[in-house]
Chain A
Amino acid sequence: MRRPSGAAAAAVRRTTAARQALRARVRLVAVTPLTGRVAAGFLVLLALAVFLLPLLYRTSATAADALHTVAGPSTGHPLGTDDLGRDELARLMAGGRITLLVGVAAMAIAVAVGGLLGGVAAFFQGWAGMVIMRVVDVMLSIPSFFLVLIETAVFGHSAGVVIVVVGLTYWPQIARVVHAEVLKWREAPLVEAAVILGNTRWRILFRHVMPQVLSSLIVLATLGVGWAILAESGLSYLGLGIQPPQASWGNMLQNSQIYIWTDPLLGVYPGALIFVTVLAFSILGEALRDALDPRLRDQG
């Protein structure tokens, strides 16, 4: 057989690698329970709706229409208007953007901080690890939502603050799980082998140990996004999160309270969306746990 040229061989290698990666992804979908796939589908649709639909539906979320307040569905306002005559559909989309953004960004912070600190504490141990894990214990002993409440009361109410506060409140949960997993993996022969091959300690932690923890991290983060969305909605509902006129499902819910008898749908829309979204993240998280943990999968 003639040796293929370098470029052709590289192309073949790339496609092989790509095909294998694709196969791994397909397999993950196949073993994810149906409920999880439905939840994931819903979340994708929701994300498309809140991020892309505004490109087509250009009604402002903040422009007030004084002549049509608390009005039911009409051609101009498919889902009606709120107490200031703002378009309900546009506000739901704007609120969804904030809610999803806060949930995902806060969890990204929690995963980064919790994963790093938990991993370092378990891998290097010593007094620094001791201090980190005692901080985790202290933070876990305080009810998270009250912690978030206090922090937003102190630091302010912008979306950025809410993201940071929620993320920095959730990280101990992640740190504790990562800590336990890394403790288990640092004794594995593959770590010994990596030492013997001349890897530095940090390289071993990030290249050989942390990837083993990734599946737990994905599950935790997915469940955590649900928690973060709930926290953001709760804060906004109490007036400590996203501030009007900026829309958020939480403050829309609060706003609709006094119209519960005149126009109950104003409360149903954001409430149902919060409920279904959080539920979808929970179901997806559980489904991913089943899919990523072969021990649970075999028990059917």
Chain B
Amino acid sequence: MPEPLLQVRNLKTHFHGRTREIRAVDGLDLDVHHGQVVCLVGESGSGKSMASLSVMRLVPRPHGRIVDGTIRFDGRDLLSLDERQMNAVRGNEIAMIFQEPMTALNPVLTIGEQVAEVLHVHRGTGRRESLDAVVAMLRRVGVPRAGEIVHEYPHQLSGGLRQRAMIAMAMICGPRLLIADEPTTALDVTIQAQVLALMKEVRREFRTSIVLITHDLGVVAEMAEHVYVMYAGQIVESVAADVLFQSPVHPYTRALMDSIPSLTAERDVLFSIPGNVPDAGAYPEGCRFAGRCPIAQPSCRDHPIPLREVKPGHFARCDLV
């Protein structure tokens, strides 16, 4: 198998609080192959957003820092780049789109100026010459009336168009990797479907790998080829998407699947996982899910559980399956 485009090994991103160390990402291993769509799934606070910010080397300072691990992107070690080299990677080779397109766009610049600016920063293109490229890019991401919209401001556009404009900004330099942090959460359902379809198309057309961060298993089913399930700063299950939905093995993944309301089964009360995510400042020594796990044994609690290959290509962080 060729070397993956993005290879994260043993990544640890910690924050130091006043009295203790918060382990937001705690030993993450992750591979993204060329042209692959990888989903990172987990609930709030599981460390999935912090993992993506770590890849961009944008962990909020001064409290957060990457304390260990390697991030190899396209043969280079991102952690060894200086700020200037890293700026040349951001937005150029690795791009990112966000949940809230309204707040991420600049209200005082036109859409055209903002998309053109990315080109200007990375290619040195003048604003006038890049206009045609900008309009073409907006068309490719399905913006109607692109020739007029380049002159409009973000507040004049609908939510779906803003997200398309964000995607145009992300894609204009032809990045190899696109990280999408909950790109559909702030959009209504029909627009969500459109944006997901657009991301698929972007991937096909630009041959871009995509890391999709989400807590929505529906989005995972729609998009992913490979899924990483995160819990309490660690990967708890890693497997091809179709296998995950057929036969999840980790108790946490199974509980997540059970939390999805079913159209057919009759149930009065929706299933929810009992308990809370453990405190990131005081993870237990043993299995971090043990406190909420229906099948936990006393032995789960006394040693760190390794990620284990339960079937070929199917990894889970559980001793009991």
Chain B residues in contact with chain A, CB under 8 A?
Answer: 56, 58, 87-92, 95-96, 98, 100, 103-109, 117-118, 121-122, 131, 147-148, 151-152, 166, 169-170
- Kindly specify which of A37-45, A79-87, A97-105, A208-216 makes contact with the partner chain: A208-216
Which chain A residues numbered 199 to 222 have a C-beta less than 8 Å away from chain B? 199-200, 203, 207-208, 211-212, 214
Chain A residues in contact with chain B, CB under 8 A?
Answer: 9, 13, 16-17, 20, 188-190, 192-200, 203, 207-208, 211-212, 214
Task: Please tell me if the beta carbons of B98 and A193 are within 8 angstroms of each other in the complex.
Answer: yes
Task: Please tell me if the beta carbons of A208 and B147 are within 8 angstroms of each other in the complex.
Answer: no
Task: Please tell me if the beta carbons of B103 and A189 are within 8 angstroms of each other in the complex.
Answer: yes
A208 vs B117: C-alpha distance when bound (angstroms): 11
Residue numbers in A under 8 Å from B122 (CB-CB): 198
Selected from A17, A188, A194, A212, the residue in CB contact (under 8 A) with B108 is A212
Residue numbers in B under 8 Å from A17 (CB-CB): 151
Task: Please tell me if the beta carbons of A197 and B95 are within 8 angstroms of each other in the complex.
Answer: yes
Residue numbers in A under 8 Å from B170 (CB-CB): 197
Task: Please tell me if the beta carbons of A16 and B148 are within 8 angstroms of each other in the complex.
Answer: yes
Task: Please tell me if the beta carbons of B118 and A198 are within 8 angstroms of each other in the complex.
Answer: yes
Given contacts A16-B148, A211-B108, 15 further A-B contacts (CB under 8 A): A16-B151, A189-B98, A192-B58, A192-B98, A195-B90, A196-B56, A196-B58, A197-B91, A197-B117, A197-B169, A198-B118, A199-B87, A207-B109, A207-B117, A211-B106
A203 vs B89: C-alpha distance when bound (angstroms): 16
Task: Please tell me if the beta carbons of A20 and B88 are within 8 angstroms of each other in the complex.
Answer: no
Task: Please tell me if the beta carbons of A197 and B148 are within 8 angstroms of each other in the complex.
Answer: no
A190 vs B151: C-alpha distance when bound (angstroms): 19
Residue numbers in A under 8 Å from B105 (CB-CB): 190, 193
Would you give the shortest CB distance from A234 to chain B, in whole angstroms? Answer: 37
Would you give the shortest CB distance from B145 to chain A, in whole angstroms? Answer: 11
List the B residue with the shortest CB-CB distance to A21.
Answer: B151
What are the 4 A-B residue pairs with the smallest beta carbon separation, nearest first? A197-B91, A198-B91, A193-B104, A198-B90
Task: Please tell me if the beta carbons of A198 and B98 are within 8 angstroms of each other in the complex.
Answer: no
A199 vs B103: C-alpha distance when bound (angstroms): 17
Task: Please tell me if the beta carbons of B104 and A200 are within 8 angstroms of each other in the complex.
Answer: no
A194 vs B56: C-alpha distance when bound (angstroms): 13
List the B residue with the shortest CB-CB distance to A189.
Answer: B103
Task: Please tell me if the beta carbons of B90 and A190 are within 8 angstroms of each other in the complex.
Answer: no
Task: Please tell me if the beta carbons of B118 and A195 are within 8 angstroms of each other in the complex.
Answer: no
The number of residue pairs between A and B whose CB atoms lie closer than 8 Å in the complex comes to: 69
Selected from B87, B89, B109, the residue in CB contact (under 8 A) with A200 is B87
A207 vs B109: C-alpha distance when bound (angstroms): 9
A199 vs B89: C-alpha distance when bound (angstroms): 11
Residue numbers in B under 8 Å from A211 (CB-CB): 106, 108-109
A198 vs B175: C-alpha distance when bound (angstroms): 12
Residue numbers in B under 8 Å from A188 (CB-CB): 103
User: Could you write out 5 A-B pairs with CB less than 8 Å apart?
Assistant: A13-B147, A20-B152, A193-B104, A197-B91, A198-B122
A30 vs B7: C-alpha distance when bound (angstroms): 57
A164 vs B77: C-alpha distance when bound (angstroms): 52
Residue numbers in B under 8 Å from A193 (CB-CB): 98, 104-105, 166
A188 vs B105: C-alpha distance when bound (angstroms): 10
List the A residue with the shortest CB-CB distance to B150.
Answer: A13
A197 vs B88: C-alpha distance when bound (angstroms): 9
Residue numbers in B under 8 Å from A208 (CB-CB): 106, 109
List the A residue with the shortest CB-CB distance to B113.
Answer: A207
Would you give the shortest CB distance from A26 to chain B, in whole angstroms? Answer: 16
Would you give the shortest CB distance from A70 to chain B, in whole angstroms? Answer: 55
List the A residue with the shortest CB-CB distance to B60.
Answer: A192
Selected from B92, B118, B131, the residue in CB contact (under 8 A) with A13 is B131
A196 vs B180: C-alpha distance when bound (angstroms): 12
Task: Please tell me if the beta carbons of A197 and B121 are within 8 angstroms of each other in the complex.
Answer: yes
Task: Please tell me if the beta carbons of B92 and A198 are within 8 angstroms of each other in the complex.
Answer: yes
Task: Please tell me if the beta carbons of B106 and A196 are within 8 angstroms of each other in the complex.
Answer: no
List the B residue with the shortest CB-CB distance to A210.
Answer: B108
Task: Please tell me if the beta carbons of A195 and B58 are within 8 angstroms of each other in the complex.
Answer: yes
Task: Please tell me if the beta carbons of A198 and B147 are within 8 angstroms of each other in the complex.
Answer: no
Residue numbers in B under 8 Å from A198 (CB-CB): 87-92, 118, 121-122
Residue numbers in B under 8 Å from A192 (CB-CB): 58, 98, 104
List the B residue with the shortest CB-CB distance to A208.
Answer: B106
A7 vs B9: C-alpha distance when bound (angstroms): 53
A208 vs B109: C-alpha distance when bound (angstroms): 8
Would you give the shortest CB distance from B273 to chain A, in whole angstroms? Answer: 30
Would you give the shortest CB distance from B219 to chain A, in whole angstroms? Answer: 21
Residue numbers in A under 8 Å from B131 (CB-CB): 13
Would you give the shortest CB distance from A285 to chain B, in whole angstroms? Answer: 21
List the B residue with the shortest CB-CB distance to A215.
Answer: B108
A101 vs B103: C-alpha distance when bound (angstroms): 40
List the B residue with the shortest CB-CB distance to A194.
Answer: B106
A22 vs B87: C-alpha distance when bound (angstroms): 36
Would you give the shortest CB distance from B137 to chain A, in whole angstroms? Answer: 14
A211 vs B105: C-alpha distance when bound (angstroms): 13
A246 vs B166: C-alpha distance when bound (angstroms): 59
A208 vs B91: C-alpha distance when bound (angstroms): 16
Would you give the shortest CB distance from B116 to chain A, in whole angstroms? Answer: 12
Task: Please tell me if the beta carbons of B88 and A189 are within 8 angstroms of each other in the complex.
Answer: no
Residue numbers in B under 8 Å from A189 (CB-CB): 98, 100, 103-104
Residue numbers in A under 8 Å from B148 (CB-CB): 16
A212 vs B100: C-alpha distance when bound (angstroms): 19
Task: Please tell me if the beta carbons of A197 and B118 are within 8 angstroms of each other in the complex.
Answer: yes
Task: Please tell me if the beta carbons of A13 and B90 are within 8 angstroms of each other in the complex.
Answer: no
Q: Max chain B CB contacts within 10 Å: which of A16, A190, A200, A208?
A: A190
Task: Please tell me if the beta carbons of A212 and B118 are within 8 angstroms of each other in the complex.
Answer: no
Residue numbers in B under 8 Å from A207 (CB-CB): 109, 117
Task: Please tell me if the beta carbons of A196 and B96 are within 8 angstroms of each other in the complex.
Answer: yes
